[in-house]
């Protein structure tokens, strides 16, 4: 389930909820079911990723990161497939509960749209590495992560609470999306050699080692710039700036990436960036609701 990156999925839910609360809208049941649904989506994606890379042989002895379940022999491919099916059922139940909590028996069009989004999210989680033409092997994982962990997570949660779109959510959504893509890119830079041999054409493989590092710096710095702009444009109290604290570990993270000489250096930075992103979301959200 890759627990160290699961906080990423909750980050957008928390920020979207806090922004909705600031504007006078908040439903605790929406928050609960949005959290369980997004966790279920990410767990499903992680299990599917383990299965897809495991059966394709992408996860092999040359891989630098932690051993995966199928790769290590801890679980069979068929058992993993059963776990995926169970997680799909849990995800569907949680998503339907979320839609009901948000719309009940009103707003049928909105409910239909979010049910379709949930179905697409399940499809995206499965086809990242599973199937004959997985999009994760074409360098499209970055686009999906930005869309789901940034835009859909923040904007979607805000909309579920408020039933409206608002420009205030755009910059936070972009910031979280970019940081989440940074986590994926860090993972791909770590695995660049084994992925290239397995013809998994991630953005890191397409860019090459040096340009992938430059791409990573652009992601992190752009996320910081977007959040800085947000805090200035939507200033309401000094508490809006408390998330600046997370710029400190982000700057140290950037320095570590710049100095990295071997892909193995990126693995411990995965946890650093994932937890910093989570802290960033918590502090940014709280900064909007504390007066």
| pLDDT one digit per residue (tens) for the chain, 291 residues | 778 778 888 999 999 999 999 999 999 999 999 999 999 999 999 899 888 877 766 655 665 656 677 777 788 888 999 999 999 999 999 999 999 999 998 999 999 999 999 999 999 999 988 877 888 888 899 999 999 999 999 999 999 999 999 999 999 999 999 999 999 999 999 989 888 888 889 999 999 999 999 999 999 999 999 999 999 999 999 999 999 999 999 999 999 999 998 888 898 999 999 999 999 999 999 999 987
3-state DSSP of the chain: CCHHHCHHHHHHHHHHHHHHHHCCCCCHHHHHHHHHHHHHHHHHHHHHHHHHHHHHCCCCCCCCCCCCHHHHCCCCHHHHHHHHHHHHHHHHHHHHHHHHHHHCCCCHHHHHHHHHHHHHHHHHHHHCCCCCCCHHHHCCHHHHHHHHHHHHHHHHHHHHHHCCCCHHHHHHHHHHHHHHHHHHHHHHHHCHHHHHHCCCCCHHHHHCHHHHHHHHHHHHHHHHHHHHHHHHHCCCCHHHHHHHHHHHHHHHHHHHHHHCCCHHHHHHHHHHHHHHHHHHHHHHHHHHHCC
């Amino acid at each position: 389930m890759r627990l160290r990156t699961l906080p990423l999925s909750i980050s957008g839910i928390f920020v979207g909820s806090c922004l909705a609360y600031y504007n006078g809208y908040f439903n605790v049941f929406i928050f609960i079911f949005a959290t369980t649904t997004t966790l279920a989506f990410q767990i499903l994606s992680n299990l599917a990723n383990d299965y897809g890379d495991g059966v394709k042989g992408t996860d092999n002895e040359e891989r630098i990161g932690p051993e995966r379940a199928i790769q290590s022999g801890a679980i069979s491919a068929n058992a993993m497939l059963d776990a995926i099916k169970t997680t799909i059922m849990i995800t569907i139940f949680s998503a339907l509960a979320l839609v009901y909590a948000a719309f009940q028996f009103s707003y049928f069009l909105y409910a239909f749209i979010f049910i379709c989004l949930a179905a697409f999210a399940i499809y995206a989680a499965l086809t990242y590495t599973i199937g004959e033409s997985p999009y994760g092997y074409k360098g499209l994982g970055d686009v999906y992560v930005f869309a789901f962990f940034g835009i859909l997570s923040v904007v979607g949660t805000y909309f579920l609470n408020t039933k409206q779109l608002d420009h205030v959510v755009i910059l936070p959504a972009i910031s979280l999306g970019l940081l989440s893509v940074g986590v994926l890119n860090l993972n791909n830079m770590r695995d660049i050699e084994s992925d290239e041999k397995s013809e998994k054409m991630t953005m890191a493989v397409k860019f090459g080692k040096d340009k992938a590092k430059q791409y990573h710096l652009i992601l992190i710095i752009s996320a910081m710039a977007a959040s800085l702009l947000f805090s200035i444009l939507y200033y309401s109290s000094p508490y809006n700036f408390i998330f600046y604290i997370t710029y400190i570990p982000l700057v140290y993270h950037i320095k570590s990436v710049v100095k990295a000489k071997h892909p193995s250096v990126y693995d411990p930075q995965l946890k650093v960036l994932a937890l910093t992103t989570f802290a960033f979301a918590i502090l940014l959200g709280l900064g909007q609701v504390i007066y």
